[in-house]
Amino acid sequence: MMETRFGQVVLGPPGSGKTSYCKAMARLLQGLGRKVAVINLDPANDALPYEAAADIQELVCVEEVMGVQGVGPNGALVFCMELLQHNMEWLVNKIKNLPKHYLIFDFPGQAELYSHHTMVRSILSSLEKEGARLCTVYLVDSHYANDPGKYISAVMLTLNSMLMMELPTVNVLSKVDAVEKFGSLDMGLDFYTEVMDLDYLLDYLGNAPGTKKYHKLNKAMAEVVTDYSLVSFLPVSVESHSTLLNAMKAIDKANGYIYGSGEERNIQRLLSCAVGAEFEHDRLGVPRDTFMREEEEEGEKSEDEDKLEAVLEMLARQNEKT
């Protein structure tokens, strides 16, 4: 068994911004003085914007599988994950060569890997048995909030993945800086992040062409999500330090890093002194004020955003001294 390592497993459908999130989160954590290793487990991702500490393409790649096995890209990804599952010693050895590193795993975006198959769950379970303390970070593109049908489907998929992975989960509404790119939201941002009573969305969904006859089905799906009452989202933009910091704090609680390191207590103390222990814009204020006000000039930052950047600079200087 390897020594205890903390980390996050980044999942989500294609286009949700997983790789960009991995790069931004790694940069944030490194700025706070952590030793970070990003591990690419997406065999179809051959254009990484970050330096991978380990890359599954050293073991297998999608193009090779498609050529040899004669399958399509989705079948090839399933094959690659099964191959990794049966060659876990390769991944464990890679991690053992990264002592005292915080781990970020960048997984493929095919939803069936998390909602129907069990390979990813088995891989993560094997890592936990080896001493890894992990949580899932599940990304959903914020543009789904513009369409009630897509949003309900995304929430259902999120719930399914949470139950399948059997890990603590932090759900992220990604690309929140573009949340109103395709039009204003029908509800306030907090409705979509807190996943409130979805019956309110059914009224908007019922007016769409071709969906009226599926009203009972849509209502049943909405009730499943509401009855479980497990899904909520943190709004995150990779361009916003404050939203990334909010995600980091939630993830550190989920995977236990906050209890296994003295660093977090130091960060919390500095943040409390700078902007208050629980400041108002922690969860929704900064995304809503920064990305949802048409009158706000481009590049303008909120007061809390400026304070948080000052805190990050202070932490970086302190870590350099130590």
312 versus 250: which is more confidently predicted? 250
pLDDT at residue 118 above 70? Answer: yes
Q: Mean pLDDT in the chain? A: 83
Provide DSSP, 237-269. Answer: -TT-HHHHHHHHHHHHHHHTHHHH-SHHHHHHH
**How many CB atoms within 10 Å of residue 215?**
12
Predicted confidence band of residue 86 (pLDDT cuts 50, 70, 90): very high
DSSP code for 55: E
Task: Please give the C-alpha separations between residue 244 and each of 104, 251, 271, 313, in angstroms, as whole numbers.
Answer: 14, 10, 14, 15
pLDDT at residue 173 above 60? Answer: yes
pLDDT at residue 265 above 60? Answer: no
Confidence at residue 171, expressed as pLDDT on a 0 to 100 scale: 96
DSSP code for 102: E
Q: Which of 146-155, 175-184, 207-216 has the lowest mean pLDDT?
A: 207-216
HSE-CB for 147 with a 13 A CA cutoff:
12
Confidence at residue 299, expressed as pLDDT on a 0 to 100 scale: 45
Give the model confidence (pLDDT) of 22-46 as tens digits. Answer: 999 999 999 999 999 999 999 998 8
**Cα distance between residue 167 and residue 78, in whole Å:** 21
315 versus 225: which is more confidently predicted? 225
pLDDT at residue 84 above 80? Answer: yes
Task: Please give the C-alpha separations between residue 317 and each of 32, 261, 285, 311, in angstroms, as whole numbers.
Answer: 9, 19, 28, 10
**Residue 102 in contact with residue 35, Cβ under 8 Å?**
yes
Spatial CA neighbour of 105 closest among 10, 200, 5, 224: 10
Confidence at residue 229, expressed as pLDDT on a 0 to 100 scale: 84
Confidence at residue 187, expressed as pLDDT on a 0 to 100 scale: 80
Domains delineated in the chain: 5-195+231-265 (3.40.50.300)
pLDDT at residue 50 above 70? Answer: yes
**Cα distance between residue 42 and residue 5, in whole Å:** 21
Predicted confidence band of residue 210 (pLDDT cuts 50, 70, 90): low
- Of all residues in the chain, the percent with pLDDT exceeding 70 is 79
pLDDT at residue 193 above 80? Answer: yes
**Cα distance between residue 219 and residue 143, in whole Å:** 22
In our burial notation (b when 16+ CB lie closer than 10 A, e otherwise), range 54-72 reads bbbbebbbbeebbeeeeee
Confidence at residue 43, expressed as pLDDT on a 0 to 100 scale: 93
**Cα distance between residue 2 and residue 56, in whole Å:** 20
